[in-house]
Amino acid sequence: MITDFIADISLDLFAIFLCMLFVYKTGPSIGVISFFIALIIYIILHFVFYSFREKIIKKIFK
């Protein structure tokens, strides 16, 4: 469905924003290390947001 697609994109963009904020706060001097840490954080946030979205959808349409 289109609403699921939009929800996935918006949650992914929010997770990417949080990762970029983390990289900005740690500074570009350790760019490669902070990039990999941000990538790990993004993957974790992606699955956390996806599981929350599934639980919310199940509660709404139960």
For 7-62, what is each residue's pLDDT tens digit? 667 777 777 777 777 777 766 666 677 677 777 877 887 788 777 777 777 777 76
What is d(CA 40, CA 46) in angstroms, rounded to the nearest whole number? Answer: 10
Q: Which domain holds residue 13?
A: 2-60
Q: What integer pLDDT is reported at residue 5 of this predicted model?
A: 65
Domain tally for the chain? Answer: 1
